[in-house]
């Protein structure tokens, strides 16, 4: 998702493009992630929720997190319907505030004690939670800057560190564990906002963690979506059209298109992909930056 991607109403009316055919259908074997458990931050909506569904379809168990306990519980009940068997043991959730890094160790232990973890515990961490505001250089307030940096960067950094400490300390076969960081095509653009700046930092963190943790059998990668048809991005326009003529791909990206590729990166299919970032951008950021505004402040 890009904080400054232009989103004019007339673009949607000119080209009424629907969801891609087969959206929401898993292309994977139902045992691809069997026996594995993923903790997905920000898993109550958007890309996080879509990733939870995709991991369930591939046979894995999921723990979703969110700030609101009631919202987490509602999504757990919904996701349980997606699980093909023993759903009550395959989907769990916890409340987690990504800015409260001092709580991470206790929350990590709490999550590992949930029934969906089994004896092995969590072995996939998907750092998806993020805060998006539209502040740009020239009009950014300190509290806007801090909100984005604490959630998108600081939270991901320290939760990844918490997971790695636990996995390395177990003194068992540590292999077949993954950290996946949801980055953004914004990391390919000049950083003129707190959001873009945080995503730039995550782009550097991914190979840094990957090189540090590879000797322990922990695979670290990133996935970087471009403008994606999430509720947070589209607001009241969700469901009208995916059309975006300014994007080389011609339309917004479906949540499931990102989620299915996330499954590849955390599965055995991606074991030899180390420290890489997969750009799912529809050409935004890597092929063009013309779909964004670069102005001083919010003018």
**Please, are residues 252 and 242 in contact by the beta-carbon 8 Å criterion?**
yes
Domains and CATH numbers, the chain: 9-280 (3.40.50.720)
Provide the Cα torsion 22, 33, 41, 153; round to 10°: -100
pTM, entire model: 0.90
Provide the Cα torsion 149, 150, 152, 158; round to 10°: 130
According to the model, what pLDDT value does residue 289 have?
A: 83
Q: CA 291, CA 277: separation in Å to the nearest integer?
A: 22
pLDDT tens-digit map of 53-63: 999 999 999 99
Tokens of 186: 């914004």
According to the model, what pLDDT value does residue 244 have?
A: 87
As a whole-number percent, the residues of the chain with pLDDT over 90 amount to: 70
Tell me the C-alpha to C-alpha distance, in Å, between residue 276 and each of 27, 29, 129, 224. Answer: 22, 24, 20, 10
**Please, are residues 244 and 159 in contact by the beta-carbon 8 Å criterion?**
no
Supply the mean pLDDT for the chain: 87
């Amino acid at each position: 998702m890009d904080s400054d991607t232009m989103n004019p109403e007339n673009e949607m009316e000119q080209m009424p493009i629907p969801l891609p055919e087969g959206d929401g259908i898993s292309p994977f074997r139902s045992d691809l992630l069997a026996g594995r458990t993923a903790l997905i931050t920000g898993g109550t909506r958007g890309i996080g929720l879509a990733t939870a569904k995709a991991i369930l379809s591939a046979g894995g168990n999921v723990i979703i997190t969110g700030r609101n306990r009631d919202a987490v519980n509602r999504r757990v009940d919904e996701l349980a319907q997606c699980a093909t068997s023993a759903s009550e043991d395959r989907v769990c959730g916890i409340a987690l505030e990504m800015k409260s890094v001092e709580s991470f160790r206790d929350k990590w232990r709490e999550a590992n004690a949930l029934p969906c973890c089994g004896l092995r515990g969590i072995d996939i961490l998907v750092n998806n939670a993020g805060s998006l505001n539209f502040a740009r250089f020239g009009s950014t307030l300190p509290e806007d800057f801090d909100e984005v940096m604490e959630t998108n960067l600081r939270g991901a950094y320290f939760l990844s560190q918490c997971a790695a400490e636990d996995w390395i300390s177990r003194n068992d076969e540590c292999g077949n564990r993954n950290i996946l960081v949801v980055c953004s095509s914004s990391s390919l653009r000049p950083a003129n906002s707190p959001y873009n700046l945080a995503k730039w930092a995550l782009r550097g963190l991914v190979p840094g963690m990957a090189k540090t943790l590879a000797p322990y059998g922990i695979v670290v990668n990133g996935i970087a979506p471009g403008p994606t048809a999430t509720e947070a991005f589209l607001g009241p326009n969700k469901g009208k059209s995916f059309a975006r003529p300014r994007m080389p791909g011609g339309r917004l990206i479906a949540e499931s298109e990102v989620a299915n590729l996330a499954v590849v990166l955390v599965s055995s299919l991606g074991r030899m992909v180390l420290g890489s970032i997969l750009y799912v951008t529809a050409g935004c950021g890597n092929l063009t930056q013309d779909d964004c505004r670069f102005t001083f402040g919010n003018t």
